C-alpha cells in the first residue's frame, strides 16, 4: 500500500513538472510572437532586438524540444492545465 502511494506521488510530481515545462514553452513562444509582431513592420531591426529574438528562439528550442514527440491529445491536456494554472493566478 505504501509503495503504490509513493509511486502515485512520484508520478504526480513528474506530470506536474512536465506540465510546468510546457507552460514555460508556451510563455516563451508567446513572447517570441509578441516580439515578432513588434518588429514585423520596422524598416530595420535594432541589433539588441535581433539578439533578443535569437535568444528567445534558442530558449524555445531548448524548452519545447521534449514535447515534439508527444501526441496532440496529450499536449492539449497539458496545455489546458497551463491555462487552468494561469486562471488560478489571476483570481
User: How high is the pLDDT of residue 19?
Assistant: 73
Query: Quick one: pLDDT band at residue 86, thresholds 50, 70, 90?
Result: confident
**Residue bearing the bigger pLDDT, 21 or 12:** 21
pTM (2 decimals)?
Answer: 0.69
pLDDT in tens, 21-62: 899 999 999 999 999 999 998 999 999 999 999 999 999 999
Task: Please say whether the dihedral angle defined by the alpha carbons of residues 22, 24, 29 and 34, taken in this order, is positive or negative.
Answer: positive
Match 528550442 to its residue by C-alpha cell.
61
Question: What is the number of alpha carbons within 13 Å of residue 14 lying toward its C-beta?
Answer: 6
User: How high is the pLDDT of residue 44?
Assistant: 93
Q: What is the mean pLDDT of residues 11-20?
A: 53
Amino acid at each position: 500500500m505504501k509503495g503504490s502511494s509513493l509511486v502515485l506521488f512520484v508520478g504526480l510530481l513528474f506530470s506536474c513538472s512536465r506540465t510546468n515545462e510546457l507552460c514555460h514553452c508556451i510563455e516563451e513562444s508567446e513572447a517570441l510572437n509578441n516580439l515578432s509582431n513588434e518588429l514585423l513592420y520596422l524598416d530595420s531591426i535594432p541589433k539588441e532586438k535581433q539578439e533578443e529574438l535569437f535568444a528567445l528562439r534558442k530558449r524555445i528550442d531548448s524548452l519545447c524540444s521534449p514535447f515534439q514527440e508527444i501526441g496532440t491529445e496529450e499536449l492539449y491536456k497539458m496545455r489546458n492545465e497551463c491555462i487552468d494554472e494561469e486562471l488560478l493566478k489571476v483570481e
